[in-house]
Amino acid sequence: MANSKRRHWTFVGAAAAAVVLAAGIATAVSGGDPGEPKAFGHPPPAAVATDTSGATTTPGAGPGSDPGSAPDTAAGTGPAASGTKTSPTSSPADLKWGLDYSDTLTFDTPDQLNTALDDAKRLGMDYIRVDFGWEDYQSFANYPPDFSKFDNVVAGANARGLKVLATIDFPPPWARRAACKDTAACPPADNAVFANFVKQAVARYSARGVHYWEVWNEPNITAWAPLPDPADYTKLLVTVSAAIRAADPHAFILMGGLAADHPSPGAPFIAPYDFITAVAKAGGLKAVDGIGYHPYPDGDPATSSTFLAISQSPKSIITALNQAGAPNMPIWITETGANIPALIFGPPDQVKPQEAQQVQQAKREVDVLSSYPNVASFFWFSYQDSPPDRLFFGLRRGDGTYRPVFDTLQQIIADAKKAP
């Protein structure tokens, strides 16, 4: 079994992205009231959005699903059972809230796990999002999977009323393709073998209340090695989704959270519109209930290209869904956040100001995302910094101390849940 935490494949770890974000945060928060950043513009709430294709979007859920409803914890019931549609998102009160832990919880000590999940509960989160890498549970082909480490995560989440969104990815070395066997981001050599592993996992955890699954993480960049390939990804998506539904007919399945921008200058990247369009043409959109998306802003969220790409740009996610005949499919923001670039580049005296700016950025991200049609969730990346990966987005710093943004998110969520 794997004995160390694995890199979380998110484009925002790139140095270039950190520079852009630093500039964007500084611009966004300048001149604003710390309690209410009035300097920002704000896109109007939209019950119906018209895109440049001429199609009209009515926000709602994916086929046979209700992403706004929490699944029952008993097997045989779940989010796909109701068949109802969501209302258009127009305020934070409509969002489902989640916290990203990458691949950390599986390897935490009991005390660390309890603390991490207690924090999610304190924050008012509805979900935790965790990597569920195949390599963590089946290191050898001739041994059955050992799910004991994840059992503890699920039991802890259930005890606190937290739902689990598991991102299934990362085959063990023995199951990877020869062309990329040295990286965890390598697709499986045989999709059917991967699907068999997934089916075993879903059968085990659907009986324990886990009904939410995301198929891969950021497959539109090189987190799908060696190069992103929507047709290739679709083959895996269709095969794995069928396995999930065979084990849990009421599972809620997300297309792997798409990166919003290039991971670094010149790096391979397929824009979300193009990736979704290609997956839809290959028949993959019929296999899922929603789209995962990771719109880390490149400045003020109201004008950030990564946010506008949801529904406000000519080639938006909404445009792609309209053209694919799925205008009501929900968009789950399964990652977003704000880095502290001074911890990468310095100077040290900018760390505290940037942490204050991170607070304002969190408010703006919630405000803007909740105004867009089809957006169903807000997941903050991440719970704690990962200094080796240059990821300083955490609600906790690398030393475990809390950042101011922890209290900010707690208040945002509390206020949202009090709203009528």
Q: When comparing pLDDT for 11 and 281, which is higher?
A: 281
**pLDDT score at 3:** 34
Cβ pair 369, 333 in contact under 8 A: yes
**Among 57-61, 229-233, 310-314, which is the least confidently predicted range?**
57-61
Distances (CA, A) of 348 to 342, 354, 368: 6, 10, 30
**Among 29-43, 77-91, 271-285, 347-361, which is the least confidently predicted range?**
29-43
**pLDDT score at 90:** 62
Position 190 pLDDT exceeds 90: yes
Position 302 pLDDT exceeds 90: yes
Average pLDDT of the residues of the chain:
84
Position 360 pLDDT exceeds 90: yes
Mean pLDDT of 369-376: 95
Cis peptide before 347 (omega within 30 of 0): yes
In one-letter notation, the amino acid at residue 88 is P
What does the pLDDT look like over 307-325, one tens digit per residue? 999 999 999 999 999 999 9
Cβ pair 114, 397 in contact under 8 A: no
Work out the pLDDT band at 99, boundaries 50, 70, 90.
very high
Mean pLDDT of 14-40: 35
**Among 23-27, 52-56, 227-231, which is the least confidently predicted range?**
52-56
Phi, psi for 109 (deg, rounded to 5): -70, 165
Nearest CA to 304 out of 211, 218, 372 is that of: 372
Alpha-carbon distance of 379 to 333, in angstroms, equals 6
pTM for this prediction? 0.84
Alpha-carbon distance of 158 to 161, in angstroms, equals 5
- Burial string for 292-306 (b: 16+ CB within 10 Å, else e) reads bbbbbbbbbbbbbeb
Work out the pLDDT band at 289, boundaries 50, 70, 90.
very high
Tallying the residues shown for the chain, one arrives at 420
Work out the pLDDT band at 88, boundaries 50, 70, 90.
low
**pLDDT score at 248:** 98
287 Cβ partners below 8 Å, 6+ apart?
A: 237, 238, 241, 242, 253
154's tokens? 């699920």
Work out the pLDDT band at 286, boundaries 50, 70, 90.
very high
Work out the pLDDT band at 271, boundaries 50, 70, 90.
very high
**pLDDT score at 41:** 24
The CATH homologous superfamily of the domain defined by 93-418: Glycosidases (3.20.20.80)
Nearest CA to 369 out of 45, 20, 23, 32 is that of: 45
